[in-house]
C-alpha cells in the first residue's frame, strides 16, 4: 500500500477567490482569499475538524459582488496571511502534501496550481486528489454535474452555514463525501475520477 494513503484521514478543501459580476478589472487577477478545510476520517465516518485560513490578496481587490457572494470583505481579508504562508500552513499543520484531498469539482485544484505557478510558491498538496462532484454524479447516474447545494438536496442532507463561504462549503462537501463513503461508492486508493 502506498504510504501516503496510510490511515483514513482526508482533507476536504474549498476555496473562495476574488471575483467580479462582469469581467475582471484591468490588471487584477482572481486570487484565493479563503481556504476552508475539513478533516474527515473515512473509517470512522465522521468530520473531525474544520479550519479556515484567510488569505490577503496582492493582485486584486474584493469586489462588492464578491462580498455579496461570500460575505468576505476587503478589510477582513486584509487581516489574512500571505498566499505563501497559507500554503505553508496547509503543508505543515494539515499534512496537505501526504494526506489525500478532495474538492467539489476541479476549480480549487486548478486555482491553486495557477496561483502557485504565478507566485512561485511550492504547491502544498500531494498527487492524491479526488473530484467529489464527479464521484457524486456517477454514483447518482446524473447527466449533469450538480453544484454542491443541489447535491446536498439530492442526497437528503441539509446545507449547514453559508453557501460560498470556504469553511462552511468544505464542511458540507465533507458530509457529501461521508455520504458517498457510507453508500460504498467512494473510490478506493488509486481510483480518482476527473
For residue range 164-179, what is the model confidence (pLDDT) as tens digits? 999 999 999 999 999 9
> For 130-147, what is each residue's pLDDT tens digit?
999 999 999 999 999 999
The pLDDT score that the predictor gives to residue 188 is 75
Range of the domain at 10: 3-182
Examine residue 188 and state whether it is found in any structural domain, yes or no: no
Question: With the CA atoms of 166, 14, 150 and 172 taken in that order, what torsion angle do they form, in degrees rounded to the nearest 10?
Answer: -70
DSSP 100-135: -EEESSSHHHHHHHHHHHHHTPPP-S-S-EEEHHHH
Residue 9 reports pLDDT greater than 70: yes
The pLDDT score that the predictor gives to residue 53 is 98
Considering its fold, how many domains does the chain have in total?
A: 1
Examine residue 191 and state whether it is found in any structural domain, yes or no: no
Grid coordinates given for 109? 485544484
The pLDDT score that the predictor gives to residue 40 is 98
Q: Can you give the pTM of this predicted structure?
A: 0.93
- Report the CATH number at residue 112: 3.30.420.10
Examine residue 13 and state whether it is found in any structural domain, yes or no: yes
Examine residue 194 and state whether it is found in any structural domain, yes or no: no
Check: CB of residue 168 under 8 Å from CB of residue 161.
yes
Q: What span, in angstroms and rounded, lies between the C-alpha atoms of 143 and 94?
A: 35
Residue listed under C-alpha cell 496571511? 81
> For 86-105, what is each residue's pLDDT tens digit?
999 999 999 999 999 999 99
Nearest partner of 34 among 90, 96, 106, judged by Cα: 90
Grid coordinates given for 18? 476574488
Examine residue 151 and state whether it is found in any structural domain, yes or no: yes
Q: Region 14-20: what's the mean pLDDT?
A: 98
Residue 11 reports pLDDT greater than 60: yes
Amino acid at each position: 500500500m502506498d504510504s501516503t494513503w496510510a490511515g483514513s484521514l482526508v482533507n476536504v478543501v474549498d476555496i473562495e477567490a476574488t471575483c467580479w459580476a462582469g469581467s475582471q478589472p484591468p490588471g487584477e487577477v482572481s486570487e484565493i482569499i479563503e481556504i476552508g478545510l475539513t478533516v474527515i476520517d473515512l473509517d470512522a465516518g465522521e468530520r473531525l475538524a474544520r479550519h479556515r485560513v484567510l488569505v490577503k490578496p496582492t493582485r486584486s481587490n474584493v469586489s462588492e459582488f464578491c462580498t455579496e457572494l461570500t460575505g468576505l470583505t476587503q478589510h477582513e481579508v486584509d487581516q489574512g496571511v500571505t498566499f505563501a504562508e497559507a500554503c505553508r500552513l496547509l503543508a505543515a499543520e494539515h499534512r496537505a502534501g501526504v494526506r489525500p484531498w478532495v474538492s467539489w469539482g476541479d476549480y480549487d485544484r486548478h486555482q491553486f496550481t495557477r496561483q502557485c505557478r504565478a507566485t512561485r510558491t511550492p504547491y502544498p498538496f500531494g498527487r492524491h486528489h479526488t473530484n467529489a462532484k464527479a464521484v457524486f454524479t456517477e454514483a447518482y447516474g446524473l447527466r449533469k454535474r450538480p453544484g454542491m447545494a443541489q447535491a446536498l438536496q439530492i442526497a437528503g442532507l441539509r446545507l449547514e452555514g453559508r453557501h460560498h463561504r470556504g469553511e462552511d462549503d468544505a464542511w458540507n462537501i465533507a458530509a457529501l463525501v461521508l455520504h458517498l463513503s457510507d453508500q460504498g461508492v467512494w473510490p478506493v486508493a488509486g481510483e480518482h475520477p476527473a
